[in-house]
Every structure is written in structure tokens, then in C-alpha cells.
Amino acid sequence: MTEFRLYMAQRLSALVMAPFVLVHIGVMIYAIQGGLTAAEILGRTQGSVFWFAFYGLFVVAVSIHASIGLRTILGEWAGLRGGARDAVSALIGVGLFAMGATAVWAVTA
């Protein structure tokens, strides 16, 4: 992956997340007002194609976005270079995606 592609991927995934973040914050505020229970959350989300797609895309975008971001930080602040850095950040991306996917499955399936 060239630096430019990574750059584009990070910016585009950020753009994708922008509306999600707003909605997500909104939902959280709304939910917290009434105090959250598992049933409330799950009741709203389970079986909903909309929320599945919503959080699913969110997870895809965030895994891409965060792994690229961490790759930069690993390079600049942890002095990691070359293949090692790419491998670690790819792993982080995959890990985030796996955990995220499980979570989305849990709340929407």
C-alpha cells in the first residue's frame, strides 16, 4: 500500500465515520437519559437491518482508520519501521475488525 493510498483510506474512512459518530453520540445521549439496560439496547437494535448496516460499516471504517492512525503513531513515537510496523498495524486492524464484528453481531443479530 502506498503512502498516498493509506492517506486516502484514512481520510475517506474518517468521512464515512463522521455522520455515524454524530448519530452514535446522539443515541448515547438519548439512551443515557433513561439509564441504559441491556434489554433496552438490544430491543432497539436486534433484528434491525438498519442498525446492522450502520454499526457494521462503522466497524469497517474504524478498523481501517484506527489501524492506519496507529501505524503512524507507531512509526513516529515508537520508532517502529518498515515491515514490522506494517504487520503490527495490519494485525491491529484485523483484531479491531474481528472484535467489532462480534460486537455488532451480538447487538444486532
Using CB under 8 A, list all residues that contact another protein.
Answer: 2-4, 6-8, 11, 14-15, 18, 21-22, 25, 28-29, 32-33, 35-39, 41-42, 62, 66, 69-70, 72-73, 75-77, 92, 95-96, 99-100, 102-107
Write the DSSP string, the chain. Answer: --HHHHHHHHHHHHHHHHHHHHHHHHHHHHHHHT---HHHHHHHHTT-HHHHHHHHHHHHHHHHHHHHHHHHHHHHHS---HHHHHHHHHHHHHHHHHHHHHHHHHHH-
Residue 49, contacted partner among another protein, ligand HEM, none, CB below 5-8 A by kind = none
Residue 103, contacted partner among another protein, ligand HEM, none, CB below 5-8 A by kind = another protein
